[in-house]
Structure 1
């Protein structure tokens, strides 16, 4: 076993959830060796062609990663681990939401403009009904600005992709959404929370509602507060100064002040620490993939490792 490879205990957790047969009646290459090859690439950020020979042909490793990114296998595996953790009471449901921009390498540009470029419409083909974590509006035809269709956009950092993240109280990612780098945080809060879906180990619906949501001023819009109030979710979101002045200028028509608990808000640093953990993987800190669904698979695999090793 090499440095960073799956341990025997981690492999036992994942083995039963992996597909058994290959395509067209063939057999898959050894899953453990291939997954270790993908992990090596996600951790180091090397080119696929430069993978060490101990992982087998690099084409096999790359194609397996691309296939499992598109069909939702990588998305399914963390949900299984989360279900076991939730059943044991080891998930802190004080959820913090934030985003981080990832610089795109020049090799991330130039994907073909096809209708299926953004991946599948559902999060998994294995019975989950998550909505697509690549935003629907990023899949619309964009004319001459084709990169936007693959969650690539222009921001202060240049050619970037933004990772929107919801992390539970122990700094582990619960939901991941990709958008172009120029997208705002506020409009994506609802979409990120809709990705929070932890299955039950027995009978019952998956858990989708946190105990409380912590977010910064970028998510302080009235629409977001109404959405959280409608779902019965407590929140700690500070109000911007211009919103406070506008509310006070309207007098009684401005409504009551928004409730804000500064002590609860101190816990929001958990999502910042979760971002730091994700960016410890070099293929997450810099985007190399052309396709948005493959990029999401890379980030999801990094989150899976965090769940396995935390």
Structure 2
């Protein structure tokens, strides 16, 4: 069903409302095509979001959003120049300045099946590694963040989610990668600048994770950064500690009531996967799939 907004824009199911567009408009760069009239940014964003929401091929995007080639060109351009990354970061900054972020972080991962269309990416990345690193952007991994696991061809998302349901960090790996080794990388990816003078905030007030992240290295990392944490101890680790007697030390502290708040990240993952372009990976390149995830997080934050 297509309706018409108060400003004359045609809006379909899932499109931006006027209030959401007013919040997003200052964060997006202009859309211009050499020698042609600039495209309407709201129409372009809605078309790109329609594709991410439905998981449809680019060629099947409805004509009301404009030519599909233009939508893909803008999506790709904004991935390469970092627009998606900067826009999501700006929304995080606003949420922090408004006191919405609570800085109690839960860490977890989820596996997403990769469609057969996601296979066959070229060997080299989507952008020059040196220029990407200079702009703080991710470079294309050699394996395109695709791997074989019990679910077949998969990609794993490692996330850090605030209690307020804001996703503060996402790292993509191949589906068979373990969770614990990525724990420090996920936490090190948290970086929320401040509107006023001061260093960006990177240290959570508390970290919650399941027993998959229980390791001596991860607990040492958290103690070194003076971050309180709630992570249950694995049974084999507890048995090894008990066998060592007094040399094994005391068991790590564990707050059962606080641990119940970990459901926030489970709910957030479910909300993120409501976008079918995220739940099933159709993008050949990991940087494109990451841009699809960032687009979804932007849309769900408005």
TM-score normalised by structure 1 residue count: 0.88
The 8 Å contact of residues 36 and 55 in structure 1, kept in 2 or not, is answered as yes
Separation (CA, whole Å) in 1 of partners of 2:130 and 2:60: 29
Cross-structure match for 1:188: 182
Separation (CA, whole Å) in 2 of partners of 1:121 and 1:139: 15
How far is 1:219 from its partner? 0.5
Structure 2, unmatched stretches of 5+, are 1-10
Q: Does 1:218 align with 2:231?
A: no
The 8 Å contact of residues 236 and 264 in structure 1, kept in 2 or not, is answered as yes
RMSD between superposed Cα atoms in Å: 2.2
How far is 1:302 from its partner? 0.9
The 8 Å contact of residues 155 and 182 in structure 1, kept in 2 or not, is answered as yes
Separation (CA, whole Å) in 2 of partners of 1:75 and 1:153: 25
Cross-structure match for 2:62: 52
Separation (CA, whole Å) in 2 of partners of 1:239 and 1:294: 37
How far is 1:20 from its partner? 3.4
Q: Does 1:18 align with 2:33?
A: no
**Equivalent of 1:75 in 76, 85, 90:** 85
For 1:241-280, list aligned pairs within 5 A: 241-280=235-274
List per-residue Cα deviations over 1:109-161 (Å, max 9, x = no partner): 00111154797775784xxx5x73x7xxx835xxxxxxxx2000000100000
For 1:1-150, list aligned pairs within 5 A: 1-20=11-30, 22=32, 28-116=38-126, 122=132, 125=135, 129=136, 132=138, 139-140=141-142, 149-150=143-144
Secondary structure (helix, strand or coil) at the match of 1:16 reads: helix
**Cα distance, 1:95–1:67 mapped onto 2, change above 3 Å:** same
Separation (CA, whole Å) in 1 of partners of 2:76 and 2:130: 12
Separation (CA, whole Å) in 1 of partners of 2:134 and 2:253: 38
Q: How many residues align?
A: 292
How far is 1:17 from its partner? 2.0
Separation (CA, whole Å) in 2 of partners of 1:117 and 1:253: 52
Separation (CA, whole Å) in 2 of partners of 1:188 and 1:27: 46
Q: Does 1:159 align with 2:169?
A: no
Separation (CA, whole Å) in 2 of partners of 1:274 and 1:121: 32
